[in-house]
C-alpha cells in the first residue's frame, strides 16, 4: 500500500470508523471517572487521561500488528474479531462498575486503566483494519480517540436514532475479520487461487455474524423484559 494513496485513505477511514464504533463505552467511562471533579479539573483529567490512553492504545495496537505477522496468529486475530463483531450487536455493557476519581491524578489513572482494560476489542479491530501498517495505526488513533472523548455523545445519539449504524459497523468488523482470515499466510494461497471463493467466504461470514448477533441481541432483550 502506497503512502497517502486511495487505498491508504480508505484503510485510514476504516480504522477511524471502527474505533469510533467500539469506543462509545470508553467515552462514557471517561465521563464517569471525572464526574466528581470540578469543571477545570474535569477538563484536565480528560485531556491527560486521553493522552495517556492514546499512547497506550497506539503502543498496544502496533504490538498486535507485529504479532499478527506470526504464522496462524492472523487467523486467531480474525476469529477474535468475529467474536467482537457479534458482541457489538449483542450490546454488552462494560462501564457499570467504574469508580469516579476524587482527585485529578486519581481520575486520570482511572481513565487510562479503564481504557486499557476495555480497549482490547478496539486494539484487535484496529490492528485488523490497519493491514499491517503501523503508520495507519498511529494516524487513525490520533484522529479517532480525541473525537471519541469530545464527540462520542453525538455518535451515541446517532446510533440510538439510527440503529442500522450498529449493523453496518458489525458488518464492517466481520468483513475485516474474514479478510484477516483469508490473508493468513498458511491458507492464503488457497483463496488466492479462487477470488470467487474468497468473496463468497467473506459474504457468508458477514451474513452469519449479522444473524448470530441479531439472535443474541433479541434473546438478551427478551431476558431483560422478563426480569423487568
**pLDDT tens track for 176-199:** 889 889 988 889 888 988 889 999
User: Could you tell me the three cell numbers for 82?
Assistant: 468475529
Residue 204 has pLDDT above 90, yes or no: yes
**The pLDDT value given to residue 49:** 78
**The pLDDT value given to residue 24:** 59
How many Cβ atoms are within 10 Å of 14's Cβ, its own excluded? 21
CB distance 11 to 133 below 8 Å: yes
The lowest-confidence range among 55-69, 166-180, 192-206 is 55-69
**Dihedral through CA 199, CA 202, CA 208, CA 209, nearest 10?**
-150
**The pLDDT value given to residue 95:** 45
Amino acid at each position: 500500500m502506497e503512502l497517502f494513496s486511495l487505498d491508504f485513505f480508505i484503510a485510514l477511514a476504516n480504522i477511524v470508523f471502527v474505533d469510533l464504533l467500539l469506543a462509545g463505552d470508553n467515552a462514557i467511562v471517561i465521563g464517569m471517572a471525572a464526574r466528581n471533579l470540578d469543571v477545570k479539573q474535569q477538563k484536565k483529567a480528560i485531556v491527560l487521561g486521553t493522552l495517556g490512553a492514546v499512547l497506550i492504545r497506539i503502543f498496544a495496537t502496533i504490538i498486535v500488528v507485529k504479532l499478527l505477522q506470526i504464522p496462524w496468529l492472523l487467523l486467531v486475530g480474525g476469529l477474535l474479531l468475529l467474536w467482537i463483531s457479534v458482541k457489538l450487536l449483542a450490546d454488552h455493557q462494560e462501564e457499570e462498575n467504574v469508580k469516579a476519581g476524587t482527585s485529578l491524578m486519581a481520575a486520570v489513572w482511572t481513565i487510562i486503566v479503564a481504557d486499557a482494560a476495555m480497549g482490547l476489542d478496539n486494539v484487535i479491530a484496529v490492528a485488523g483494519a490497519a493491514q499491517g501498517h503501523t503508520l495507519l495505526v498511529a494516524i487513525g488513533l490520533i484522529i479517532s480517540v480525541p473525537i471519541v472523548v469530545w464527540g462520542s455523545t453525538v455518535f451515541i445519539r446517532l446510533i440510538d436514532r439510527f440503529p442500522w449504524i450498529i449493523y453496518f459497523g458489525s458488518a464492517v468488523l466481520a468483513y475485516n475479520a474474514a479478510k484477516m482470515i483469508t490473508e493468513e499466510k498458511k491458507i492464503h494461497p488457497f483463496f488466492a487461487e479462487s477470488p470467487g471463493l474468497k468473496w463468497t467466504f467473506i459474504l457468508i461470514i458477514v451474513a452469519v455474524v449479522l444473524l448470530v448477533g441479531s439472535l443474541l441481541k433479541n434473546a438478551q432483550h427478551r431476558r431483560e423484559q422478563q426480569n423487568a
